Amino acid sequence: MREQNGFIGLIISGNSGMMRIAALLMAIWMISCAGIVGAESYIPEAIDNATPPTNVLTVPDGEESTPITDGSTEELFDQTESSEPSPSPKPEETETILGGDIATEFLAEPFEQTVNPTRTLRYDSTGEDVRLLQERLTQLGYYTFRITGTYQERTRDAVNQFQSENGLTRTGTATIGLQRLIFSQAASPRSTPTPKPTPKPTPGPTLPAVIPEFPGSREYNSTGAEVRYIQIRLAQLGYYTDVISGEFYKNTRNAVKAFQNSNGLNADGIVGRKTWEKLFNDPQPRDASATPTPKPTPPPPEYYITIDVVNQVVTVYGLDANGGYTNVVKRMLCSTGTDANPTPERQYVLNGATARWCFFDKWGSYAQYWTRISSSIAFHSVIYNTPDAMDLAVGSYYNLGKKASHGCIRLLVSEAKWIYDNCGAGTVVDVIRGKADPEGAMALKPPALNKANMLPVSTPQPTLTPLYNPHTPPETKIRTLGVGSAGEDVFWLQNKLTELGFYAGTITGGYWNGTRDAVKAYQKMYGLGADGKAGKITLGHIYAEAAATPTPSPTPVPTLTPTPVPTPVPTLTPSPSPTPSPTPTPTPSPIHSPAAPEPAPTVQQTQSPI
């Protein structure tokens, strides 16, 4: 046996790690064959006398190592602990796990200190050995959290990942055998996954070489090739990310609105001419990443509208030179809501919604030229039984000037059309309670209905407004004026009563309740019998009062008298000294005459107005 032992020691002392392993195996085989009891004591002796091999992990006594059967590292570092009881350790006895040249191509960077695992580590384990395990797993790239010394989810995940990378079953538990592998150079560092190549983008739909001219508006529910072009162009600019379908629905409308907002257009979600031109003919439209174009400050609306529910009159005002709405453009007789369904008295702003014909499903009726005021009321024409201009509900025509609607504002067809054509989005509408003005309303009363076309009978154009001279009564024959009278004498009377403070209505030349009440007030003032009729006595009194009012004479402009220019004192020329020659007769200096006065300015007398 000495020769055998010496042979083994000679073999192990060689430089080759593989030769040392082979010698050890041979010794074990020879001892087992010889049946020598206690021969295992020669194994440590052989190793102790040999040159120390590199990459050998030494573990404490009492741990059971797995026999090497085919050189695999998995068998060398089995992660399951033996259920057999460990033998009592002997003093200074160690068990050596051979590393040698096993799996040299997978060698990891050595750990900075020697670690001797003594227990299995699992969830909720704590201590220095857990801290060292976390540090080693960090070094190998499996653990990326902070070092805590507590075995919890992240440590368990790192152990699972290590097991997967090293071909082991995932348990998330670090047995003593697994810890040996982790701390050895045979541990495989975490592999870096091969990045997947970026797929080449699939070319999307393209626009035709020639874009057609504006085909008309495209909006929600539109379909066809033009909608497809719109979607492609919006996708190119970054506004549309859905399927190019050629169907105009919610996502397309939202993309159109976003494009309009960014490019300073009215964001209504409708591709009208301006939006079409900006999409396809503008060389530099703003894409989705650009700063939106600031929208210009819109000009003020052209018109302002009041709806007087007392007089049933719609008045349209235009802008004056100062930007105020003081110029009366149009006055129209209307029908507002009844007392049971009143038109709400408040301010509205038109949003631009209109319809050529509208149907009131609750009432089963129709109207023309509908212009939305709010969600519940609108301007529209008189009522029709069917959408046929000849099927007029005649009663709605003759009710103009009375409260007759369910809240909407009914107008003559021509006047509803005027608002439909001229009063767009942004127009302010005020529903008010004006002061009673019967004359103003009666002046707007439509003529009789022409049954041939269901429109008002044509009336001659009104004559020019008569001239009014407050001191000269009308030259017409005096007649009794009462409700229903009309003419120049009524026009003069209304002006005079306005001047005297009795009348506050519209001066129309038509005698209605407002004029009647003003005449009554005048009659009471002068004790003339207050019947509200302007007969010969009342008119004679008013005419005499007008004629008796003195016309102020013009103040004459004084004639200016020019200030005379003073006559200058003549300067005398001294006589020369006498000489032998004859003395000449001295010539006197000329005497200046006073300047002629300037003519007085002619003063033109101004006459009183006639």
Best CA proximity match to 400, nearest among 312, 338, 341: 312
pLDDT of residue 188: 86
Q: Which three-class secondary structure state does DSSP give residue 218?
A: strand
Q: Give residue 10's pLDDT.
A: 39
Name the residue with tokens 């070094």. 139
Residue 278 and residue 290 in contact, taking contact as beta carbons nearer than 8 Å: no
pLDDT of residue 282: 92
Blockwise average pLDDT, block size 10, the chain, 610 residues: 42 48 58 43 36 40 37 39 42 35 48 85 94 93 93 95 92 94 88 71 81 94 95 95 94 96 93 95 90 80 97 97 94 97 96 95 95 96 96 96 97 97 96 95 93 85 79 87 92 93 92 94 92 92 81 55 52 49 46 41 40
Neighbours of 423 (CB within 10 A): 22
Closest CA to 158 of 176, 178, 177: 178
pLDDT of residue 293: 75
Strands 378-381 and 409-411: parallel
Dihedral angle, C-alpha 87, 93, 95, 101, nearest 10 °: -170
CA distance 187 to 280: 63
Contact indicator for 131, 149 with CB cutoff of 8 Å: yes
Gyration radius from the chain CA atoms:
58
At residue 101, the pLDDT reads 34
Could you please state the CATH topology (level 3) that the domain comprising 488-546 is classified under.
Muramoyl-pentapeptide Carboxypeptidase; domain 1 (1.10.101)
Identity of the residue numbered 91: P
Give the whole-angstrom CA distance, residue 443 versus residue 331: 10
> Which H or E run includes 27?
helix 17-34
Q: Do 549 and 472 touch, CB atoms closer than 8 A?
A: no
Distance in angstroms (rounded) separating the CA atoms of residues 218 and 268: 12
Measured distance CA(540)–CA(528) in Å, rounded: 11
Q: What is the Cα–Cα distance from 293 to 168, expressed in whole angstroms?
A: 62
Is residue 159 within 8 A of residue 123, CB to CB? The reply is: no
Alpha carbon separation from 18 to 68, 360, 566 (Å, rounded): 13, 102, 154
What is the residue-wise DSSP string for 530-579?
A: --S-B-HHHHHHHHHHHHHSPPPPPPPPPPPPPPPPPPPPPPPPPPPPP-
Helices (H), 38-124: 42-49, 73-76
Contact predicate 398/447, CB 8 Å: no
Q: Specify the pLDDT at position 4.
A: 44
Q: Which residue type, as a one-letter code, is found at position 40?
A: E
Do 521 and 531 touch, CB atoms closer than 8 A? no
Cβ partners under 8 Å of residue 30, min gap 6? 4
Fold type of domain 207-296 = Muramoyl-pentapeptide Carboxypeptidase; domain 1 (1.10.101)
Q: Which CATH architecture has domain 303-456?
A: Beta Barrel (2.40)
What are the start-end ranges of the E strands in 53-97?
A: 57-59, 95-97
C-beta of residue 345 within 8 angstroms of C-beta of residue 432: yes
Task: Name residues whose C-beta falls within 8 Å of residue 71's C-beta, 6 or more positions apart in sequence.
Answer: 102
Identify the CA nearest to 190 among candidates 215, 166, 221. Answer: 166
**Homologous superfamily (CATH) for 54-183:** PGBD-like superfamily/PGBD (1.10.101.10)
Q: Global pTM?
A: 0.45
H or E stretch covering 258? helix 250-262
Residue in the block written with tokens 């439909």: 420
How confident is the model at residue 98, as a pLDDT? 33
212: number of Cβ within 10 Å: 11
> How far are the Cα atoms of 331, 429, 504 from residue 436, in angstroms, in the given order?
15, 20, 9
**Within the chain, which residue ranges are assigned CATH 1.10.101.10?**
54-183, 207-296, 488-546
d(CA 137, CA 255): 51
Sign of CA dihedral 105, 108, 114, 117: negative
- Residues whose CB falls within 8 Å of the CB of residue 583, separated by 6 or more in sequence, listed in order: none
Question: What pLDDT does residue 82 have?
Answer: 39
Extract the tokens encoding 307. 């709806």
Distance from chain centroid for Cα 265: 12
**Residue 559: how many CB atoms within 10 A of its CB?**
10
The pLDDT of residue 557 is 55
Helices (H), 305-406: 394-398
